[in-house]
Structure 1
Amino acid sequence: MLEGPSLEESEPGAEAPCSGSCHTQRVLQTLNAYRGSGTLTDAVLRAGGHDFPSHRAALGTGSAHFCSLFAAGQPELGQAVVPEMLGAGRTRAAAALAVALDYDYVFGSGGQLRAEDEAGLREACARFLEGSLRAADSRALRHVPAAFPPPSLAGRCGRGRRQGFTEAVRHADFLELAPEDVVALLANPGAGRGRARKPVFEAAMRWVRHDAPARRGQLAALLEHVRLPLLAPDYFLEKVEADELLRACCECRPLLLEARACFILGREAGGLRTRPRRFMDLAEVIVVIGGCDRKGLMRLPFADAYHPESQRWTPLPSLPGYMRSEFAACTLRNDIYVSGGHINSHDVWMLSSHLHTWIKVASLHKGRWRHKMVVLHGQLFVVGGFDGLRRLHSVERYDPFSNTWESVEPLLEAVSSAAVVPCAGRLYVIGGARQDNISTDKVQCFDPKEDRWSLQSPAPFSQRCLEAVSLEDTIYVVGGLMSKIYTYHPGTDVWGEAAVLPSPVESCGVTVCDGKVHITGGRDDHGESTDRVFTFDPSSGQVEAQPSLQRCTSSHGCVTIVQSLGR
């Protein structure tokens, strides 16, 4: 079964024996004779210590697996060698037999290929492809995993697409890809790996310009997967907004406006496209600033950045001479601002993400602590708080361009330690302390267009020491020694419950990073600071414990910025 007719039995070009009138069978039998004699063979399969010369065309015709193997591997002229085909638990003889059976099947001698033999062939082909695929083989990298299921090959193809993105889009094959394949390549998390964000945009435009009349209609769909807000502003102005194809594309205008708004207002204005791709050297990191120690006796001066993907902590500059608690912190255009603090501080500091240093900016008109500070429409708002004698109605607004504070419409009810959060273009103040032993369930809403406050549906709790964040036009509230995460939907003015935490907490840090709500530190029901961290995923509704903070802390700052992982 392993040997075909010799040349003496069937000379090249001579009519091979055929049991029927089928021309196809005669051709296969002739090729089988050639295979046995090594005539015109251009591939060698090795298994069980045996070499099996073959013809790539015949193998590819008879087997989709071999067709994918040779098409994707693109071996040069000459004999392509497919290495050892030894699967787990196989003997060398069994592996050789599997190949022989496959040969008989492909070349028409009547053998049947068993499932276990085909599995061995698949494994061997996968190993061959792992060593042969190149990033430039765009189409092969996209379709090979479907033909060869082994996870190792699928992983290798994925890594190839990520690591070789720049090489792949420069290859001639890229220009011939179907629109859906281009979208898949641009949407891959590894596109634009490292500092390179421009290649993703340039690849999309290069593909469109290859046949602009037919492809200009795909522009908006492609730009959906280009992180325009992460481009350098000067490049965006000179290369993106000035591009004639984009200027003529009405469907692209919202994407360009979104990017421009992000350059002016910061990440407040953007969504998914403002987040770095997973394999960039840029990443969202959580910054934990200061706070109180376990017993609440010491004020912590530390500032540290945490990258959830690598679980790595990086120290940041400590705020000069700033060892206070119950201050407020937020981010504006990727810079971190800290204001006020115990006791009655007027100070405001900014940690510049470019200069990597703290800078003192204009002071508050009214010193305060137990207040909150948030960003709305590119400006800082400091809301409520305590001055040591009474709760405060006052609200101040900061213009970063003029470095000035101004007073705006005061709260309807003075509160401290409330949850304050921007959402859908408005400012929401939830709960908080009215007096030392009295908390409120009121929800106060500020509309900057009308410059006035109004009351919304009350919260299903009356608590202080609350924190809140907004994500996809939904507000998430935690703290107040509550075990639940509550939701509020401004569009419908309806409250709900999202999840249950393992234990109650207050005065914690809350921020959104990588589409999840991160809850850091805080005080437990014994009044002690903790180092626990939990994440809540709105898409799954699940709460998961995460690696602990570096130290127990409460009443601290907790924000998210974009940072270079190489810093």
Structure 2
Amino acid sequence: MVLILGRRLNREDLGVRDSPATKRKVFEMDPKSLTGHEFFDFSSGSSHAENILQIFNEFRDSRLFTDVIICVEGKEFPCHRAVLSACSSYFRAMFCNDHRESREMLVEINGILAEAMECFLQYVYTGKVKITTENVQYLFETSSLFQISVLRDACAKFLEEQLDPCNCLGIQRFADTHSLKTLFTKCKNFALQTFEDVSQHEEFLELDKDELIDYICSDELVIGKEEMVFEAVMRWVYRAVDLRRPLLHELLTHVRLPLLHPNYFVQTVEVDQLIQNSPECYQLLHEARRYHILGNEMMSPRTRPRRSTGYSEVIVVVGGCERVGGFNLPYTECYDPVTGEWKSLAKLPEFTKSEYAVCALRNDILVSGGRINSRDVWIYNSQLNIWIRVASLNKGRWRHKMAVLLGKVYVVGGYDGQNRLSSVECYDSFSNRWTEVAPLKEAVSSPAVTSCVGKLFVIGGGPDDNTCSDKVKPNYFRHIPIGLLDHVQNTFSRQVIT
């Protein structure tokens, strides 16, 4: 029986008369029951393609219908040109154009491993392959050669998941060689984040100079303290000291020597024989010594803390009053411009005073004098978050100003309750002592004071209750001798706080 589905036609329309040859059984359907779907699209889904590939793979294993043999490292792989060309544009170009290989039965391919070719063909004929730490590199290179981007990306993704302090530098170099920008960036960020561990492994000691500098110059380097960077650089240099000795100065320019702890600097850096025998490094050592004495007065790219250390330049607000004639406030707060956050610090002692002077010395804050006729001086220790009383002024004062010059603090002018003052005192934090120095040529209160080019400038101020000065008076104080800076290690432990 033959079933014909379709629209019924009148015999007259067809122009056909009944005859034994034209009589057929026709499956009739009521037009009222039709829903408008007169055909059905059938698909067996991806299983059809998988079954076909499976059969082709069986053909390959049994050498059935194979029409080309790929030879790699002397090992032969019977294949089907159609399958290879369908999967790889490399083979499509080889077999579909008028190349010699399109006519030859045996095609030899150099530059890859036989094991890699086996894995590659397994993927081509099954769509599956097992990527391991042992085969990922040559499988990546093979998929790159044959232009299988899906397999290539899978290998790169696998490498990302294998990042470890012992291998991230090697993977980074591999990524750079093959222009894998995403993998390269992830490797570098991983190494920056785990630099302390990375620097302990063999791959770190095999970096070339430019690769090492790229890490140690970065503000994003995550370290607990700068000493770790110095030690990593010295390990790298001592690994091949004869070849790398000439690179020491260039490398140390990227180590932030001024941020090393003074004791570590004296006991470890300055006594290192390689550094002592490198005169070109002396200027870097001298810069670090100056910073240990002068603090933020001496600025260079090596005095900027790395972000991971948690140090940043902040604005500190000390004391004040809530309104005119109101209560004096004891609060000390700091503002971090990077995070936009305010943070409370230790409260200011003896906050009932007013019209005191404030200045920053290295990484600490000094508050001196204040109404009424106070000689007290307090220093805020930023590491301990406490206020400590230090040596008192020789003469009590308020409405005075303080400034730092060459590592020492100067108190200038002010008012003692009866007279404006011309006296100037100098504070040495290492000896914890205030010393009278050359006085102002004119007594003033509430001047502006700043240091510049080794001099202290006093601007304006009030010589009496009714007038304001328009004078600018530079004071020429005795500077710290350069020779003293060379022997600063003798003074690091002499600071006395009473």
TM bucket normalised to smaller: 0.5 to 0.7
Q: How does 1:172-187 map to 2 (within 5 A)?
A: 172-187=202-217
Are 2:354 and 2:371, in contact at CA under 8 Å, matched by a contact in 1? yes
Whether 1:26 and 2:89 are equivalent positions in the alignment is no
Match of 1:279 in 2: 308
1:421-459, Cα deviation, whole Å (9 max, x unpaired): 2233221223344444544443322222389xxxxxxxx
Whether 1:77 and 2:134 are equivalent positions in the alignment is yes
Structure 1 residue 313: Cα displacement: 3.8
Are 1:415 and 1:433, in contact at CA under 8 Å, matched by a contact in 2? yes
1:492-527, Cα deviation, whole Å (9 max, x unpaired): xxxxxxxxxxxxxxxxxxxxxxxxxxxxxxxxxxxx
**1:20 partner letter:** H
Whether 1:417 and 2:446 are equivalent positions in the alignment is yes
CA distance 1:20–1:404, change in 2 (3 Å): closer
Structure 1 residue 359: Cα displacement: 2.4
2:389 pairs, out of 344, 353, 360, with 360
SS at match of 2:349: coil
2:169 pairs, out of 138, 161, 166, with 138
Partners of 1:422 and 1:30 in 2: how far apart?
A: 68
Match of 1:51 in 2: 127
Whether 1:13 and 2:76 are equivalent positions in the alignment is yes
Q: In proportion to residue count, which structure has more strand?
A: 1
Number of matched pairs: 395
Match of 2:288 in 1: 259
Match of 1:516 in 2: none
1:240-274, Cα deviation, whole Å (9 max, x unpaired): 11111000111111111222233344443453323
Match of 2:279 in 1: 250
Match of 1:408 in 2: 437
Match of 1:387 in 2: 416
The higher radius of gyration belongs to 2
Match of 1:237 in 2: 266
Structure 1 residue 338: Cα displacement: 0.6
Whether 1:204 and 2:233 are equivalent positions in the alignment is yes
CA distance 1:276–1:431, change in 2 (3 Å): same
CA distance 1:161–1:106, change in 2 (3 Å): closer
Partners of 2:394 and 2:244 in 1: how far apart?
A: 57
CA distance 1:122–1:31, change in 2 (3 Å): closer
Question: Greater relative contact order: 1 or 2 (C-alpha under 8 angstroms, separation 6 or more)?
Answer: 1
Partners of 2:158 and 2:260 in 1: how far apart?
A: 39
Match of 1:159 in 2: 189
| TM-score, normalised by the number of residues in structure 1 | 0.59
Q: How does 1:196-345 map to 2 (within 5 A)?
A: 196-295=225-324, 297-345=326-374
Structure 1 residue 373: Cα displacement: 1.1
Partners of 1:227 and 1:30 in 2: how far apart?
A: 46
Structure 1 residue 182: Cα displacement: 1.0
Are 1:342 and 1:369, in contact at CA under 8 Å, matched by a contact in 2? yes
Partners of 1:428 and 1:208 in 2: how far apart?
A: 47
2:118 pairs, out of 36, 39, 44, with 39
Partners of 2:263 and 2:421 in 1: how far apart?
A: 43
Structure 1 residue 165: Cα displacement: 0.5
CA distance 1:144–1:431, change in 2 (3 Å): farther
Structure 2 runs not aligned, ≥5 long: 1-48, 70-74, 82-94, 481-498
Are 2:410 and 2:425, in contact at CA under 8 Å, matched by a contact in 1? yes
Structure 1 runs not aligned, ≥5 long: 57-74, 84-101, 452-567
Are 2:113 and 2:138, in contact at CA under 8 Å, matched by a contact in 1? no
Structure 1 residue 80: Cα displacement: 8.1
Partners of 1:30 and 1:232 in 2: how far apart?
A: 53
Partners of 2:242 and 2:111 in 1: how far apart?
A: 49
SS at match of 1:254: helix
Match of 1:193 in 2: 223
Tell me how large the CA RMSD over aligned residues is: 4.2
Partners of 1:341 and 1:254 in 2: how far apart?
A: 42
Q: In proportion to residue count, which structure has more helix?
A: 2
Partners of 1:272 and 1:29 in 2: how far apart?
A: 51
SS at match of 1:13: strand
Match of 1:501 in 2: none
CA distance 1:173–1:358, change in 2 (3 Å): same
Taking only the aligned residue pairs, the percentage that are identical comes to 41
CA distance 1:297–1:256, change in 2 (3 Å): same
CA distance 1:310–1:162, change in 2 (3 Å): farther
2:146 pairs, out of 75, 92, 107, with 107
